[in-house]
Amino acid sequence: MAFKEVKIEELSFNPFTKISKEWMLITAGDEEKHNTMTASWGGVGIMWGMNVATAYIRPQRYTKEFVDAEDMFTLSFFKEDYRKALNLCGSKSGRDGDKDKEAGLTPYYTDGTTAYEEADLIFVCRKLYAQEMKPECFTVDGPDEKWYPGKDYHTMYMGEIVKVLVRE
């Protein structure tokens, strides 16, 4: 699989559709060991004068261990043809086996981290900031009760998008 690097300003997509409807894989780790998970929560924007992406991971997710331990992570976006693979990556743990193989995905190593050859778009991110969400920080009623009945609050990761790769 061949990718080409493009400037982020050359991209044209709706981030609300890309993240919430099409989903993405959050991946961290290297050629020796990595893990991935499906996500439909996140964002892109500008922070501290940098192009950034945010991703949110619950404490029980195996991928969190990798994102916490590494300086880099990737966000990989796919065509609809890969919906079954994304469903699998969101419902099975990498602790229990080779999720890549089971999902039919091929690791693509770049910049000391891992993405996937089947992706159409990859953001390579340098972790800038991580913060656990806290119940006392909610400013409205509803989200805490609806999304966190088990009190398993996400950690928010903000990464500088240091490279954008698109399928050639």
Looking at residue 1, its pLDDT comes to 58
Which residues contact residue 165 at a Cβ distance below 8 angstroms, ignoring those fewer than 6 apart? 3, 4, 5, 6, 110, 115, 119, 121, 122, 124
pLDDT digits (tens, 9 = 90+) for 116-140: 999 999 999 999 999 999 999 999 9
Looking at residue 104, its pLDDT comes to 97
Which residues contact residue 44 at a Cβ distance below 8 angstroms, ignoring those fewer than 6 apart? 15, 51, 52, 53, 54, 123, 161
Q: Is a pLDDT exceeding 70 seen at residue 155?
A: yes
pLDDT digits (tens, 9 = 90+) for 35-77: 999 999 999 999 999 999 999 999 999 999 999 999 999 999 9
Is residue 24 within 8 Å of residue 75, measured between CB atoms?
A: yes
Q: Is a pLDDT exceeding 80 seen at residue 103?
A: yes
Kindly report the pTM of this predicted structure.
0.96
* First-last CA distance in the chain: 8
Length of the chain in residues, anyone? Answer: 168
